[in-house]
Amino acid sequence: MPELPEVETTRRGLEPLLVGRTVRSVRVHNRSLRWPVPRGISKTLAGERVRAIDRRSKYLLVRCMHGTLIIHLGMTGHLRVIPAAEPLRKHDHVELLLDDGRALRFNDSRRFGALLWTKDDPLVHPLLTGLGPEPFDGAFTDSYLAGRAKGRVVAVKPFLMDAKTVVGVGNIYASEALFRAGIDPRRAAGKVSRPAWQRLVTAVRDVLAEAIEAGGTTIRDFANSAGEPGYFRISLRVYGRGGEPCVTCATPVKQVRLGQRSTYFCAKCQK
Ligand SMILES: [Zn+2]
SS (H, E, C) the chain: CCCHHHHHHHHHHHHHHHCCCEEEEEEECCCECCCECCCCHHHHHCCCEEEEEEEECCEEEEEECCCEEEEECCCCEEEEEEECCCCCCCCEEEEEEECCCEEEEEEECCCCCEEEEECCCHHHCCCCCCCCCCCCCCCCCHHHHHHHHCCCCCEHHHHHHCCCCCCCCCHHHHHHHHHHHCCCCCCEHHHCCHHHHHHHHHHHHHHHHHHHHHHHHHCCCCCCCCCCCCCCCCCCCCCCCCCCECCCCCCECEEEEECCEEEEECCCCCC
Q: How far is the CA of 4 from the centre of ligand 1 (A)?
A: 27
Task: Read off the pLDDT of residues 213-242 as tens digits, 9 standing for 90 and up.
Answer: 887 655 544 554 444 444 466 788 999 999
pLDDT: is 33 or 3 the higher one?
Answer: 33
Q: How far is the CA of 238 from the centre of ligand 1 (A)?
A: 9
pLDDT of 224? 47
Asked about 194 being catalytic, the answer comes back as: no
Asked about 3 being catalytic, the answer comes back as: yes
- The single residue of 2, 122, 135, 229 carrying the catalytic annotation is 2
Among the listed residues 192, 136, 195, the one whose alpha carbon sits nearest the alpha carbon of residue 167: 136
Asked about 261 being catalytic, the answer comes back as: yes
pLDDT of 165? 98
Share of the chain above pLDDT 70, in %: 93
Confidence bin at 142 (pLDDT 50/70/90): very high
Domains and CATH numbers, the chain: 4-124 (3.20.190.10), 142-265 (1.10.8.50)
- The single residue of 51, 148, 186, 261 carrying the catalytic annotation is 261
Q: How far is the CA of 253 from the centre of ligand 1 (A)?
A: 7
Q: How far is the CA of 268 from the centre of ligand 1 (A)?
A: 5
pLDDT of 48? 98
Task: Read off the pLDDT of residues 100-136 as tens digits, 9 standing for 90 and up.
Answer: 999 999 999 999 999 999 999 999 999 999 999 999 9
Task: Read off the pLDDT of residues 149-196 as tens digits, 9 standing for 90 and up.
Answer: 999 999 999 999 999 999 999 999 999 999 999 999 999 999 999 999
Q: What is the pTM of this model?
A: 0.91
- The single residue of 11, 56, 58, 187 carrying the catalytic annotation is 58
Q: What is the mean pLDDT of residues 14-37?
A: 96
Q: How far is the CA of 237 from the centre of ligand 1 (A)?
A: 10
pLDDT of 114? 97
Long-range contacts of 204-207 (CB under 8 A, 24+ apart): 204/135, 204/140, 204/160, 204/166, 204/169, 204/173, 204/177, 205/135, 205/136, 206/177, 206/180, 207/173, 207/176, 207/177, 207/180, 207/234
Q: How far is the CA of 167 from the centre of ligand 1 (A)?
A: 28
Q: How far is the CA of 172 from the centre of ligand 1 (A)?
A: 18
